[in-house]
Amino acid sequence: MLSGYIAHHLRALLGSAGRLARAPFATFMTALVIALALATPLGLAVLVRNALAATGGFAAAMDLSVYLHASVPLSRAQALAHAARARAGVAAVDVISADDALQEFRRYSGFGDALAALPGNPLPNVLRVHPTAQASSAQALAALRNWFASRPEVEVVQVDADWVRRFNALLELLRRVLWVAGAVLSAAVLVVVGNTIRLEIANRRAEIEVVKLVGGSDAFVRRPFLYTGALYGATGALLAWAVVAAALLALQGPVSDLAQAYGSRFGIAGPTLPEAGLTLGAGTLLGWLGAWVSAARHLHSIEPRE
Amino acid sequence: MIVFERVTKRYPNGREALTGASFSIDTGEMVFLTGRSGAGKSTVLKLIALIERPTRGTVSVDGLNLGQMRPHRLPAYRRMLGVVFQEHRLLADRPVFDNVALPLVVSGAKPAEVDKRVRAALDQVGLRGREPMLPNELSVGEQQRVGIARAVVARPRVLIADEPTGNLDPDLALEVMRLFKRFQDVGVTVVVATHDLHLVQQFGQRSIVLEAGRVLGSGEAPLPSMTASR
């Protein structure tokens, strides 16, 4: 009985695949529509992942510049740096002495003569604090900032994280768009497959009547259509992967050039194996589901007649 | 046993195809349903195959009240029937083997069993060797025999046939009827709707004569009124 059951499933699967293969253009067009619907969320997922990878150095970008009072000597600056290094969430602290800062300013500003005329060094000692990646959140940075600000040696603490927050908000927006697009386009896949299966059922009405007349159950009659839907979904998912991979290939050069202009060796990465697998699984499932809904709705009304 | 008790069937268009029809057919009996076109022969077969349900009255097969049968029990019931149509109703895009195998496949038979029984059924109808051919590559008579092979391949308890010889020449029609008789000989209940009185007379089986949806009578030869109507 089991071998008969398996044989029937195999026959239904191969029969469905054969039917699709015998109408390659129609199959391709349907699969392409499904592919375009699936490619959008897949492409967005890849975009978000690449954006996260490209901004992996945000911890460094969110350094704190701690300006001490001009009267604070270098030894106290170093003691404060030592205390800061002992704090959790601090990866490193560099001490930029007032003398080093003046020399650097003199070298790059072009005001060398004017600076020489000054009676003393107007610049303070500065600490450049690098938080750890785990302490780069807004709350952790605020806590670190408050700790420095509460010290009597400190005059100003500067954290330029606004643009990072904006970027993170943009990424979050993209993630939401990804989910919304995924949901809407999944519904589109259901409709496309459902409508295709509806037409298929209408074309095979006579066959369905005969199968029911010889004792074919609804499940038996439905099975080939479910395989057809699943195959449409799987083919669409594979095409979606190809579409996204091709799009990324086209973007690879310009993105690398842009990254190099910013001194980065970042290169855009295509869909990962889990992403490809998820798309294939989702496509197959959506195809199967669309076919099931359509078959349940339309097969019920077909009964043998003379 | 097939029992019709005061069965009336009225179609949605208002036509009453059967009016208070009562008769019974014993298990293992071969019976002809005769009558003019529109007499109600096909309706009787449709009611047995549960293609239609009675408007009034009771149809029962082997003790099952068909009018009260729930939809999910229909497939199992239909698997105990073999149905032969005048128009064959073969699947045009499937080879002869697949057409005949259909009742076995829907019942989940093992591939080896399907293979053995399909070849045996085709052997019975004289079509061994035609397995890979498509229906439209066969003659009308051969297509009818494929339909018969499909009807008997799953060893049904009841075989019903609607004008099975309508498209056949007299020799072939006789051969088909002999085939049905052989199934009856092995215990299958056979119900054949036909207006070919010559064939009916040749076989000497019981006939149920219908006229305008009513049972005129039954006996082992066509009734005079039936003969006169032809």
The whole domain housing B214 covers: 2-80+156-229
User: From the list B81, B108, B162, which residue is nearest A1 (CB)?
Assistant: B108
Nearest CA of chain A to the CA of B225: how many Å?
28
Instruction: Decide if B78 and A303 are in contact by the 8 Å CB cutoff.
Output: no
Rounded-to-integer distance, Cα A269 and Cα A265, Å? 12
- For residues B59 and B167, membership in a common domain is answered with yes
- For residues B143 and B94, membership in a common domain is answered with yes
Question: B85 in a domain, yes or no?
Answer: no
CB A21 within 8 A of CB A27: yes
pLDDT tens, A203-238? 999 889 999 999 998 889 999 999 999 999 999 999
CB B222 within 8 A of CB B200: yes
Instruction: Decide if B106 and A3 are in contact by the 8 Å CB cutoff.
Output: no
Question: B211 in a domain, yes or no?
Answer: yes
User: From the list B42, B106, B154, which residue is nearest A220 (CB)?
Assistant: B106
Q: Is the pLDDT assigned to residue B190 strictly greater than 70?
A: yes
- For residues B175 and B68, membership in a common domain is answered with yes
- 3-class DSSP assignment, residue B47: helix
- For residues B168 and B151, membership in a common domain is answered with no
Averaged confidence pLDDT in chain A: 86
Residues of chain B in contact with residue A305, where contact means CB-CB under 8 angstroms, are 51
B230 falls in which pLDDT band (50, 70, 90)? very low
B228 falls in which pLDDT band (50, 70, 90)? very low
Average pLDDT over residues A110-138: 80
- For residues B74 and B14, membership in a common domain is answered with yes
Closest CA to A128 of A84, A73, A79, A86: A84
At position B35, the amino acid (one-letter code) is G
Question: B197 in a domain, yes or no?
Answer: yes
At position A199, the amino acid (one-letter code) is L
Q: Is the pLDDT assigned to residue B221 strictly greater than 80?
A: no
Average pLDDT over residues B30-57: 92
**Strand stretches in A97-196, DSSP E:** 126-131, 154-159
Instruction: Decide if B78 and A1 are in contact by the 8 Å CB cutoff.
Output: no
The residue that leads in pLDDT, A19 or A108, is A19
Average pLDDT over residues B42-66: 93
How many distinct structural domains can be found in chain B?
2
B223 falls in which pLDDT band (50, 70, 90)? very low
* Residue A180: count of CB within 10 angstroms of its CB: 12
Give the model's pLDDT for residue A109.
Answer: 65
Residues of chain A in contact with residue B79, where contact means CB-CB under 8 angstroms, are 214-215
The residue that leads in pLDDT, B9 or A256, is B9
Average pLDDT over residues B95-119: 92
Question: B37 in a domain, yes or no?
Answer: yes
CA angle A280, A286, A288 (to 5 degrees): 100
Instruction: Decide if B106 and A216 are in contact by the 8 Å CB cutoff.
Output: yes
Q: By percentage, how much of chain A surpasses pLDDT 90? A: 44
Average pLDDT over residues B74-100: 90
Q: Is the pLDDT assigned to residue B150 strictly greater than 90?
A: yes
Give the model's pLDDT for residue A61.
Answer: 60
Chain B residues with CB within 8 Å of chain A CB: 42, 46, 49, 51, 74-79, 81, 83, 89, 91, 102-103, 105-111, 113-114, 150, 154, 162
Using CA atoms of B119, B125, B127, B131 in order, give the dihedral in degrees to the nearest 10.
-40
Which domains does chain A possess? 2-56+165-299 (no CATH), 63-159 (3.30.70.3040)
At position B100, the amino acid (one-letter code) is V
A115 falls in which pLDDT band (50, 70, 90)? confident
Rounded-to-integer distance, Cα A288 and Cα A226, Å? 5
Closest CA to A161 of A190, A185, A129, A189: A129
- For residues B174 and B224, membership in a common domain is answered with yes
- For residues B70 and B115, membership in a common domain is answered with no
Rounded-to-integer distance, Cα B109 and Cα B115, Å? 10
CB B116 within 8 A of CB B166: no
**For B93, nearest residue in chain A (alpha carbons):** A207
Q: Is the pLDDT assigned to residue A87 strictly greater than 50?
A: yes
**For A222, nearest residue in chain B (alpha carbons):** B106
Residues of chain A in contact with residue B110, where contact means CB-CB under 8 angstroms, are 1, 3-4, 7
pTM over 0.80: no
Averaged confidence pLDDT in chain B: 88
B170 falls in which pLDDT band (50, 70, 90)? confident
Which residue pairs from A148-153 have beta carbons closer than 8 angstroms and sit at least 24 positions apart in sequence?
A148/A64, A148/A66, A148/A84, A151/A80, A153/A68, A153/A69, A153/A72, A153/A76, A153/A77, A153/A80
Average pLDDT over residues A59-77: 82
Instruction: Decide if B42 and A4 are in contact by the 8 Å CB cutoff.
Output: no
For chain B, report the end-to-end CA distance as a whole number of angstroms.
31
The residue that leads in pLDDT, A140 or B19, is B19
- For residues B99 and B51, membership in a common domain is answered with no
Nearest CA of chain B to the CA of A292: how many Å?
18
At position B193, the amino acid (one-letter code) is A
Q: Is the pLDDT assigned to residue A306 strictly greater than 70?
A: no
Sign of CA dihedral A29, A32, A34, A37: negative
CB A216 within 8 A of CB B79: no
Q: B108, B125, B155 — which closes off a domain?
A: B155
pLDDT tens, A268-299? 888 888 988 999 999 999 999 999 999 988 88
pLDDT tens, A26-41? 999 999 999 999 999 9
CA B74 to the chain's CA centroid: 17
Rounded-to-integer distance, Cα A66 and Cα A83, Å? 14
Give the residues across from A157 on adjacent strands: A66
User: From the list B42, B89, B103, which residue is nearest A215 (CB)?
Assistant: B103
Chain A residues with CB within 8 Å of chain B CB: 1, 3-5, 7-8, 11, 206-207, 209-218, 220, 303-306
B229 falls in which pLDDT band (50, 70, 90)? very low
Using CA atoms of A164, A168, A173, A177 in order, give the dihedral in degrees to the nearest 10.
120
**Strand stretches in B26-106, DSSP E:** 30-34, 56-61, 64-65, 81-84
Rounded-to-integer distance, Cα B201 and Cα B210, Å? 16
User: For chain A, what percentages of helix, strand and coil (3-state, to nearest 5) are there?
Assistant: 75, 10, 20
Question: B123 in a domain, yes or no?
Answer: yes
* Residue B145: count of CB within 10 angstroms of its CB: 28
- For residues B63 and B105, membership in a common domain is answered with no
- 3-class DSSP assignment, residue B204: coil
Instruction: Decide if A4 and B109 are in contact by the 8 Å CB cutoff.
Output: yes
- For residues B149 and B166, membership in a common domain is answered with no
Q: Is the pLDDT assigned to residue A153 strictly greater than 80?
A: yes
Best mean pLDDT range from A56-60, B71-75, B217-221: B71-75
Mutate to test the interface with A, among B42, B72, B80, B106 (most CBs of A within 10 A): B106
- For residues B16 and B115, membership in a common domain is answered with no
Residues of chain A in contact with residue B89, where contact means CB-CB under 8 angstroms, are 206, 209-210, 213
Give the model's pLDDT for residue A180.
Answer: 92
Give the model's pLDDT for residue B136.
Answer: 93
User: From the list B51, B74, B81, which residue is nearest A305 (CB)?
Assistant: B51
Q: How big is the A-B interface in CB pairs under 8 Å?
A: 66
**For A10, nearest residue in chain B (alpha carbons):** B111
Instruction: Decide if B89 and A210 are in contact by the 8 Å CB cutoff.
Output: yes
